[in-house]
Amino acid sequence: MALAFRQRIFVVLVALTAVPTALAVVGWALAVRTVGPSAGARVALEEMAASARQMVDRIDTTHLAAPERAALREHLERLSTSVTLARRAETYLRYYAGGFALVVIVFGGLALTAAIRLAGHLSRQLSRPIDELVGWTRLIRRRVPLPAGPASRGAPEFEALRQALRELATALDAARERELEAERLRAFREVARRVAHEIKNPLTSMRIAVDQLGRTVGQADSRTATAVEVLGAETQRLGQLAKEFADFGRLPEGPKSEVDLVDLLMDLGKSGVPPEVAVRVRANGEPCKVLGHYDPLRRAFANLLRNAAEAMHGRGAIEVAVTRDGGGLVVTIADHGPGVPDELRQRVFEPYFTTKQDGTGLGLALVRQTIEAHSGTISVANTPGGGATFSIVLSAT
147 in a structural domain: no
pLDDT, greater one: 374 or 8 = 374
Over 80: is that where the pLDDT of 266 sits? yes
Q: Provide the β-strand partners of residue 259.
A: 290
173 in a structural domain: yes
**pLDDT at residue number 357:** 66
Same structural domain, 136 and 164: no
**pLDDT at residue number 63:** 67
**pLDDT at residue number 60:** 66
Percentage of the chain beyond pLDDT 90 is 11
Same structural domain, 29 and 135: yes
How many angstroms separate the CA atoms of 294 and 71, rounded?
A: 131
Same structural domain, 135 and 218: no
What is 290-321 written as a DSSP string? EEE-HHHHHHHHHHHHHHHHHHTTT-EEEEEE
Question: Mean pLDDT score of the chain, rounded to an integer?
Answer: 78
Domain that residue 372 falls in: 257-395
- Please enumerate in sequence order all residues whose Cβ is within 8 A of that of 391, keeping only pairs 6 or more positions apart, or say none: 330, 331, 332, 378, 379, 380, 381
Same structural domain, 391 and 261: yes
146 in a structural domain: no
Query: Of 107, 141, 175, which residue sits at a domain end?
Result: 141
Same structural domain, 267 and 323: yes
308 and 367 Cβ atoms separated by less than 8 Å: no
How many angstroms separate the CA atoms of 93 and 106, rounded?
A: 19
Same structural domain, 300 and 335: yes
151 in a structural domain: no
How many angstroms separate the CA atoms of 244 and 138, rounded?
A: 45
Q: Which candidate, 99, 101, 121, 103, places its Cα nearest to that of 111?
A: 103
How many angstroms separate the CA atoms of 308 and 388, rounded?
A: 8
Tell me the average pLDDT across 215-230.
72
Query: Of 90, 111, 141, which residue sits at a domain end?
Result: 141
Same structural domain, 262 and 391: yes
Q: How many domains is the chain built from?
A: 3
89-133, pLDDT tens digit by residue? 777 777 776 777 777 778 777 877 877 777 777 777 777 777 788
Same structural domain, 232 and 264: no
Q: Which of 178-215 are b and which e, b meaning 16 or more Cβ less than 10 Å from the residue's Cβ?
A: eeeeeeebeebbeebbebbeebeeebeebbeebeeeee
pLDDT, greater one: 225 or 266 = 266
- Please enumerate in sequence order all residues whose Cβ is within 8 A of that of 310, keeping only pairs 6 or more positions apart, or say none: 356
Return the CA Rg of the chain.
50
Over 90: is that where the pLDDT of 347 sits? no
103 in a structural domain: yes
77-94, pLDDT tens digit by residue? 777 777 777 777 777 777
What pTM value is reported for the model?
A: 0.54
Same structural domain, 244 and 265: no
25-68, pLDDT tens digit by residue? 667 666 655 555 555 555 666 666 677 666 666 666 666 677 87
11 and 3 Cβ atoms separated by less than 8 Å: yes
